[in-house]
Chains A and B, each alone.
Chain A
Amino acid sequence: MDFLNAIVAFANFVLVPGTAYGAQLALGALGVTLIYGILRFSNFAHGDTMAFGTMFVILITWGFQGLGISFGPLPTALLALPLGIVLTGFVLIGTDKMVYSFYRQRKVKPVVLVMVSLGVMFIMNGLTRFIIGPDDQRFADGERFIISARTFKEMTGLEEGLAIKTTQGITVITAVIVVAILFWFLNKTRTGKSMRAYSDNEDLALLSGINPERVVLYTWLIVAALATVAGTLYGLDKSFKPFTYFQLLLPIFAAAIVGGLGNPVGAIAGGFVIAFSEVTVTYAFKKVATYILPDALAPDGLLQLMSTDYKFAVSFSILIIVLLFKPTGLFKGQSV
């Protein structure tokens, strides 16, 4: 029984939150990795793109709530999500036409594009704060739990409860659907194949008649969808605050690099590696250990490897370790 309690406690505090966070990071890292693979620069504005997309979703959600439209037990934000994606898509394509395409035609060094993305980051960050304000916004509604801790305890008779929030369930399901569609698109459709070809070898792709502007257009649309979905899921699960989204840049980049920049499968794996390391290293294992170990060995301390404040240090250390031993990432990524 104690053993089961230990497993449930572990699942409740590490496995479930880690999976949800990992899915959010994976979606973010997919966006970064796609831009890297096809447009060939590290997009520093990605965190703020996520914030921008989420902002649209929040505003639309508030509109729906005002009109009395709801999605039953599910959050209204899911209804607003497609509209948010479309708006973000327009913004990103507009940004590309006004900002990035100029540098692309001149074939500047990637680092100049990174610098340009810094400018875009400033503007997006400023606009987000301007429109919705720098404060926390909560927009989750509907049913709060799939299983609450108390129901779980009553059902199983265990001492430990396992709570699964609706938002966590939705995160994982949505992520699976989005990733499935993305891989189907990249591997089966003509446009997807031309995108991969362009990413593998630009000159050869151009030679075989692939229209680069079309590839770029589709890339931005997909990135808009990925960023808005990732941002909305993160905001539903935790809360929306523009600065937090800016800070997400570090774990997202860590995930993309750990997996191998430019490699979509790597980005997903990287997202989960980073998420689980962050959650595991900063979780206090006292409860789990008390169940497993005999009373005599019960720990005095919290058995926490690092305080939760250092979660960024965890993603950073993993990034450094991977860079030192396998600079192209766990899965083979590109390098310029």
Chain B
Amino acid sequence: MTRRDALLFVFVGFLILGTGFTQSWNSALLILNMGLISAIMALGVNLQWGLAGLFNVGVMGFVALGGLATVITSMPPNAEEWSVGGLRVIFGLLLGAGTIIATIIARRRMSKGRARTFATLAILIGGFFLFRYVFDGGVEAIEAVNPASTGYLGGLGLPVLLAWPMGGLLAAGAAWIIGKTALGLRSDYLAIATLGIAEIIIYILKNEDWLSRGVKNVVGLPRPTGVPYEIDLQNNAGFVERAAGLGLDPATASTLYVKIGYSVLFTVVLVLLLWLAQKALNSPWGRMMRAIRDNEVAAEAMGKDVTARHLQVFILGSAICGIAGAMMTTLDGQLTPTSYQPLRYTFLIWVMVIVGGSGNNFGSVLGGFLIWFLWVQVEPMGLALMQLITAGMSDGFWLKDHLIDSAAHMRLLTMGLVLLLVLRFSPRGLIPER
């Protein structure tokens, strides 16, 4: 890091501190926590784009899989649902996976021709109906149990911190499937494939109630060790006394304490991942990846297996996004599938990477904080701007109402402008690759 880079980080730090002084420390910590998570997501995307030149526009899907991992890992198992249909659903899923594996084996074993086509179709169609028969029965039974409060299988009841690596694993699995099909083809095909898989993952989360209650949301996810509940803090005489000593009322003090607890945990993860990413970047492996990115043909001539390396780095980057997704759901304390929007979770992360400087890990971290800060603050700024513009208009005038109502959409506009301006005038970003 040069002195200029350090100054940029200090600048972003001042922006967040400024929020604390002028608005509230609560909002400042909110920005900091989501900034930490965004920085991790940007780190994952930077690994794929900056290091390997892979264009992944399915970040949202991997983030959502991380969220799913939180539910699966940390919620207590629901015994009744398991007894009525749990095994049947698992068996159904295994049948589905078996069908695909059988198809692949059949296609490998049999020689090309009409017989192979028929065998493929027969296995696929037969397998699909068998899968649906077994699976649907189980799902119906599970979703019928107490649908207002549970109606899903629940999780493993493990500590929520384990969900973070779990989220990484789930995302890595999905990335493996996509990478196997789309890598090695033209670069835009990976983009389309990831765009599609992200939408499908969100649809699965919205519709498979047996898995995570769908749009009914899973609420009340447990907190990690070290982060207490506000109400316990407020009932703790010692804490209230110390808060009073700092001149804070117990309610504010407890929310701040909880948020700082999360900040510490997230910072640990970010520093660890940043350290690993720096190590990777400066290792022979990192130099090889950059060589492949800059000239695939030459790298191939040197005996590098381009597709396999791409698959590797694609899985790693997606896993980091999955970890960040699990952390975010832990912070929210609930899984809300409807809140996943591609503009917010995929394209915003891209803006972070480009603005920060693709190919530079510190750049992505900086971009994560800076763009997240802008994303949060542009809305009130837009509203203020609109109020200024419309100040001369009389109340109830349609244009005034319309402009003030639409101020919320200034965000997308600003992000697009920032992205285009950076791509045009500073395509290497704030902290360029070295």
Which residues of A approach B to under 8 Å, CB–CB? 41-42, 44, 99, 102, 110-112, 114-116, 118-127, 129-131, 133-134, 246-247, 249-250, 253-254, 257, 305, 307, 309-310, 312-313, 315-316, 319-320, 323-324, 327, 335-336
Please give, as numbers and ranges, the residues of chain B lying within 8 Å of A324 by CB-CB distance: 181
Which of A123, A131, A250, A327 lies in contact with B199, CB distance below 8 A?
A250
Contact: A249 with B195, CB < 8 Å? Answer: yes
Contact: A310 with B196, CB < 8 Å? Answer: no
Query: Nearest-CB distance from A326 to chain B (Å)?
Result: 11
Query: Nearest-CB distance from B211 to chain A (Å)?
Result: 14
User: Which of B62-70, B390-398, B418-426 is near enough to bind chain A?
Assistant: B418-426
- Among residues of B, the one whose C-beta sits closest to the C-beta of A316 is B196
Contact: B412 with A122, CB < 8 Å? Answer: yes
Contact: A312 with B420, CB < 8 Å? Answer: no
Query: Nearest-CB distance from B423 to chain A (Å)?
Result: 6
Contact: B413 with A42, CB < 8 Å? Answer: no
Contact: B412 with A125, CB < 8 Å? Answer: yes
In the complex where A249-B195, A309-B206 touch, is A123 in contact with B420 (Cβ < 8 A)?
A: yes
Contact: B207 with A102, CB < 8 Å? Answer: no
In the complex where A118-B350, A129-B412, A320-B181 touch, is A312 in contact with B192 (Cβ < 8 A)?
A: no
Contact: A310 with B185, CB < 8 Å? Answer: no
Please, how many angstroms separate the alpha-carbon atoms of A127 and B414 in the complex? Answer: 10
Contact: B187 with A110, CB < 8 Å? Answer: yes
Please, how many angstroms separate the alpha-carbon atoms of A305 and B132 in the complex? Answer: 9
Among B185, B188, B203, B413, chain A packs the most CB atoms within 10 A around the CB of B188
**For window 275-295 of chain B, which residues contact chain A by CB distance below 8 Å?**
none
Contact: A254 with B419, CB < 8 Å? Answer: no
Q: List 19 A-B contacts (CB under 8 A).
A: A112-B427, A115-B354, A118-B347, A119-B420, A120-B416, A122-B351, A123-B420, A125-B343, A126-B411, A126-B414, A129-B409, A130-B406, A133-B406, A249-B195, A257-B189, A316-B193, A320-B181, A320-B182, A327-B189
Query: Nearest-CB distance from A45 to chain B (Å)?
Result: 10
Please give, as numbers and ranges, the residues of chain A lying within 8 Å of B206 by CB-CB distance: 309
In the complex where A115-B423, A118-B419, A316-B200 touch, is A323 in contact with B413 (Cβ < 8 A)?
A: no
Main secondary structure of the interface of A (DSSP, over half): helix
Contact: B354 with A126, CB < 8 Å? Answer: no
Which of B192, B410, B419 lies in contact with A253, CB distance below 8 A?
B192
Please, how many angstroms separate the alpha-carbon atoms of A253 and B194 in the complex? Answer: 12
Please give, as numbers and ranges, the residues of chain B lying within 8 Å of A129 by CB-CB distance: 406, 409, 412
**A122-B351, A123-B420, A316-B193 known, 19 other contacts, Cβ within 8 Å:** A41-B188, A99-B420, A110-B188, A115-B55, A115-B350, A116-B423, A118-B419, A119-B420, A122-B416, A129-B406, A129-B409, A129-B412, A254-B196, A257-B192, A307-B207, A313-B200, A315-B196, A320-B182, A323-B193
- Among residues of B, the one whose C-beta sits closest to the C-beta of A243 is B341
Please, how many angstroms separate the alpha-carbon atoms of A265 and B371 in the complex? Answer: 42
Interface string of B321-347 (1 = CB under 8 A from A): 000000000000000000000110001
Please give, as numbers and ranges, the residues of chain B lying within 8 Å of A118 by CB-CB distance: 347, 350, 419
Please give, as numbers and ranges, the residues of chain B lying within 8 Å of A253 by CB-CB distance: 192, 195
3 smallest CB-CB distances across A and B, nearest first, come from A122-B416, A126-B412, A126-B413
Give the interface size bracket for B toward A.
35 or more
Query: Nearest-CB distance from A323 to chain B (Å)?
Result: 6
Query: Nearest-CB distance from B343 to chain A (Å)?
Result: 7
Contact: A122 with B199, CB < 8 Å? Answer: no
Please, how many angstroms separate the alpha-carbon atoms of A129 and B415 in the complex? Answer: 14
In this assembly, does B96 line the interface, its C-beta being within 8 Å of a C-beta of chain A?
no
- Among residues of A, the one whose C-beta sits closest to the C-beta of B424 is A102
Contact: B416 with A309, CB < 8 Å? Answer: no
- Among residues of B, the one whose C-beta sits closest to the C-beta of A250 is B196
Please, how many angstroms separate the alpha-carbon atoms of A307 and B209 in the complex? Answer: 13
Please give, as numbers and ranges, the residues of chain A lying within 8 Å of B415 by CB-CB distance: 122, 126
Among B53, B132, B207, B423, chain A packs the most CB atoms within 10 A around the CB of B423
Please, how many angstroms separate the alpha-carbon atoms of A316 and B182 in the complex? Answer: 12
Please, how many angstroms separate the alpha-carbon atoms of A232 and B192 in the complex? Answer: 24
Contact: B423 with A119, CB < 8 Å? Answer: yes
Contact: A126 with B416, CB < 8 Å? Answer: yes
Among B128, B410, B412, B414, chain A packs the most CB atoms within 10 A around the CB of B412
- Among residues of B, the one whose C-beta sits closest to the C-beta of A102 is B424
Please give, as numbers and ranges, the residues of chain A lying within 8 Å of B181 by CB-CB distance: 320, 323-324
Please give, as numbers and ranges, the residues of chain B lying within 8 Å of A247 by CB-CB distance: 199
Contact: B195 with A250, CB < 8 Å? Answer: yes
Please give, as numbers and ranges, the residues of chain B lying within 8 Å of A254 by CB-CB distance: 192, 196
In the complex where A119-B420, A313-B200, A327-B185 touch, is A130 in contact with B410 (Cβ < 8 A)?
A: yes
Please give, as numbers and ranges, the residues of chain B lying within 8 Å of A327 by CB-CB distance: 185-186, 189
Which of A41, A115, A319, A335 lies in contact with B196, CB distance below 8 A?
A319
Contact: B412 with A111, CB < 8 Å? Answer: no
Which of A114, A134, A305 lies in contact with B191, CB distance below 8 A?
A114
- Among residues of B, the one whose C-beta sits closest to the C-beta of A99 is B420
Which of B199, B350, B411 lies in contact with A312, CB distance below 8 A?
B199
Please, how many angstroms separate the alpha-carbon atoms of A336 and B185 in the complex? Answer: 10
In this assembly, does B197 line the interface, its C-beta being within 8 Å of a C-beta of chain A?
yes
Among A111, A120, A257, A335, chain B packs the most CB atoms within 10 A around the CB of A111
Contact: A114 with B354, CB < 8 Å? Answer: no
Query: Nearest-CB distance from B120 to chain A (Å)?
Result: 11
Contact: B420 with A309, CB < 8 Å? Answer: no
Query: Nearest-CB distance from B128 to chain A (Å)?
Result: 8
Contact: A313 with B188, CB < 8 Å? Answer: no
Query: Nearest-CB distance from B103 to chain A (Å)?
Result: 11
In the complex where A254-B192, A257-B189 touch, is A111 in contact with B347 (Cβ < 8 A)?
A: no
Please, how many angstroms separate the alpha-carbon atoms of A129 and B343 in the complex? Answer: 13
Contact: B420 with A134, CB < 8 Å? Answer: no
Which of A120, A122, A309, A335 lies in contact with B343, CB distance below 8 A?
A122
Query: Nearest-CB distance from B255 to chain A (Å)?
Result: 31
Among A115, A319, A323, A327, chain B packs the most CB atoms within 10 A around the CB of A115
Please, how many angstroms separate the alpha-carbon atoms of A336 and B343 in the complex? Answer: 28
Please, how many angstroms separate the alpha-carbon atoms of A318 and B152 in the complex? Answer: 30
In the complex where A122-B419, A250-B196 touch, is A42 in contact with B188 (Cβ < 8 A)?
A: yes
In the complex where A99-B420, A122-B343, A125-B343 touch, is A114 in contact with B55 (Cβ < 8 A)?
A: yes
